[in-house]
Structure 1
Amino acid sequence: VAAVAATAIKNEGDGCPFQRIGKGLFIWKAKAGITQQPPTPVEEPEQEDEVQYDIISSFGMFWRRNAIEWVSTPKILGMYQIGAQHVDFHKQLGIYLLYDGREVIYVGRATERPLGRRLYEHTADRLSSRWDRFSWFGLLPVSEAGDLGILPDSYLGPKIIPAVEAILIEALEPRQNRKRGDDLSAVEYIQKEDPEIQKKKVKQSLEAALGKWQP
């Protein structure tokens, strides 16, 4: 009992219903007429404001061209992490780059026509045979439900400069820059293959297997 009372005094302080009166001796405050002091409230540390990425809301690096089913409104699917709900970025607005391997061969913007449409056009224009990957930097905010928001009317000048710097660092990967762009540290999405691609692969495998058994 003494050990329990000692532990309670240590943990609860003045708010403990027991009081030590000697070595191994304790009294119950209520029985002795001692008013119990309410426990001192512990102040919670202030939560720091979450950093908001006001210019670049989302981006994807070196996404594969062959992971997309190319139709006039293709699905540009991405996930914040493996297993997370996917987001369709085909209506995203912003800047994109086309690569031949690791080399940037084209820089474009998606404004009047969204990202998905612009990329689709490059599968049939003069660049159609020259690119196999692309990166993109989006301006439309992404909600928790995975929906794209609306484009802000304007941006503050001091926020534009670090955003442009961040895009250049990510896109060009200069060797002397030891850190990523500040505005892009928490908004990268990884590519998710269009489910239609996998369906076609399964269908082709089945047809090939059946073809072997046909006389």
Structure 2
Amino acid sequence: MLFQNYGLFWHADRITWGSPGKGNQGKLLGRQRVKEDPIDFRYQRGVYALYDENFKILYVGQAGYGNKRLYDRLDNHMTDHLGERWQRFSWFGIDPVVGKAGKRYVEERDPSAPPVDAVLNHLEAILIAAAEPPLNRQGGKFGEAEQFFQSWEEDDEDEVLEAIGTLSKRLDEIERRLKRQ
């Protein structure tokens, strides 16, 4: 399998941007389920796409050539000619997530050459996921690649529960108003 995992339309403003100095590297967090510990994808290798606020693709690049991993490439784009233009990104990683619950991490591995049909399925899936062409009725075939959803340090279960409670109260109020009419 060429691509092991991916994230679609993550927010640039939810990346924990680092600062100079040891231990201030920043984080690129994702998870598959709300209650699981986040995984840092900062060292992931693969390809990525940058989008503007209307989800228009502005740039496509690769991470992992030399020492530049996914986080490094995104960080570079915050200060280059694209800096103010992109708000979201999608990424497609070749390094697997390994480990057990609570201690999962991205492990750098040299990928083996997958069969041609798997490569073509993955390339098609990436293009469909990244570009969302309107005439493609079916999604891409990622096979066993795992999708991850963005997480960020402000993620807090209490915050989520509070937001759900607020929404529930608003829905109850709307329902009461509709019954009065």
| TM-score interval, normalised by the smaller of the two chains | 0.7 to 0.9
Higher relative contact order (CA 8 A, sep 6+): 2
- Check if 1:175 corresponds to 2:128: no
Using the alignment, how far apart are the partners of 1:179 and 1:143 within structure 2? 30
What are the within-5 Å matches in structure 2 for residues 58-137 of structure 1?
58-71=5-18, 73-101=25-53, 102-111=55-64, 112=66, 113-137=68-92
**For the structure 1 residues 153 and 60, does the alpha-carbon distance in structure 2 shift closer, same or farther, using more than 3 Å as the test?**
closer
Q: Which runs of 4+ in 1 moved over 3 A?
A: none
| Unmatched tracts of structure 2, length 5 or more | 20-24, 157-181
| Unmatched tracts of structure 1, length 5 or more | 1-53, 199-215
Q: Give % identity.
A: 35
CA contact (8 A) 2:4 2:144 kept: no
Using the alignment, how far apart are the partners of 1:194 and 1:110 within structure 2? 23
Deviation, structure 1 residue 153: 4.6
Match of 1:183, SS? coil
CA contact (8 A) 2:94 2:111 kept: no
CA contact (8 A) 1:93 1:110 kept: yes
Using the alignment, how far apart are the partners of 1:181 and 1:167 within structure 2? 7
Deviation, structure 1 residue 162: 1.1
CA displacement 1:37-73 (0-9 Å, x = unmatched):
xxxxxxxxxxxxxxxxx11111111111111221263
CA contact (8 A) 1:74 1:117 kept: no
So what's the TM-score if we normalise by structure 2?
0.73
Number of residue pairs matched by the alignment: 144
So what's the TM-score if we normalise by structure 1?
0.62
Instruction: Select between 155-164 and 136-145 the one with higher mean Cα deviation.
Output: 155-164
Write the letter of the residue equivalent to 1:133. Answer: R
CA contact (8 A) 1:69 1:75 kept: yes
CA contact (8 A) 1:166 1:184 kept: no
Match of 1:160, SS? helix
Q: Which of these two proteins has the greater Rg computed from alpha carbons?
A: 1
